Amino acid sequence: MPEYRKIHGLGAEFPTAAALFHAAEKTRDKGFKRWDVHSPFPIHGMDQAMGLGKSWLSAVVLLGGLTGLFTAVVLEGYPSLIEYPVVVHGKPVTWATVPAFFPIFFELTILFSAFSAVGALLVFNQLPKWYHPLFNWERFTRVTDDGFFLVIEARDPKFSEASTRQFLEEIGGMHVTLVHD
């Protein structure tokens, strides 16, 4: 039967987390850009082994937190000090009342930071995702059990079916398989 589907990439299986770790280092050094590793559990130091660099998540969370702080300042300051300057609980209607606002400043900062962290996490990881070509590969289902996989995608500029397959086998990959979309 002729294969008409697009190639997603080449996948290789590794026996242990350590083997996957070292394979990732070699793949990084080889200069591949579009590739990923899959394991049943997080592996310490894998981000460095893959050469991922610093995540942008913290910047997004900082922006979210500042937005929350700003929202709280406007939400409390404008009505309490400008629109309805009413004496409440015997506290003055000046900036000196600001300690009463701090809990809301704090809470909204945290709330917006948390929302932006979760939101950015979903966007960065391209979730939710209803379909992924890797699940066409039968062995890949073991990734939630005892399988360690490294997949180099076909859209990587350095990808070529023959040489990439050879490279994966060189670095110790087993069951090197062409995965289709």
Task: Please report, as ranges, the residues that interact with another protein according to CB under 8 A.
Answer: 44-45, 48, 54, 58, 62, 89-91, 99-100, 102-103
Q: Rounded to the nearest whole angstrom, what is the least distance from the CB of residue 65 to another protein in the complex?
A: 10
Least distance (Å) from another protein to the CB of residue 109? 12
Asked if 49 contacts 28 with a C-beta cutoff of 8 angstroms, the reply is yes
Long-range CB pairs of 97-105 (<8 Å, 24+ gap) are 101/72, 101/73, 101/76, 101/77, 104/72, 104/75, 104/76, 105/69, 105/72, 105/73, 105/76
Based on CB atoms, which residue is closest to another protein, 78 or 102?
102
Tell me how crowded residue 102 is: count the other CB atoms within 10 A of its CB: 11
E strands, the chain, are: 7-14, 35-38, 148-153, 174-180
For another protein, the closer CB: 12 or 120: 120
Q: Which is nearer to another protein, 52 or 62 (CB)?
A: 62
> Least distance (Å) from another protein to the CB of residue 23?
19
Mapping DSSP to helix (H, G, I), strand (E, B) and coil, where does residue 101 land? helix
Q: How far is the CB of 172 from another protein (least distance, A)?
A: 23
Shortest approach of another protein to residue 45 CB, angstroms?
5
Question: CA 150, CA 166: separation in Å to the nearest integer?
Answer: 14
Complex with another protein: residue 62 or 174, whichever CB lies closer: 62
Q: Tell which residue, 78, 71, 74, 76, has the closest CA to residue 116.
A: 71
By beta-carbon proximity to another protein, the closer residue of 48 and 163 is 48
Least separation in angstroms between CB 96 and another protein: 10
For residue 59, what are its two tokens? 């910047």
Residue (25 or 156) nearer to another protein, CB: 25
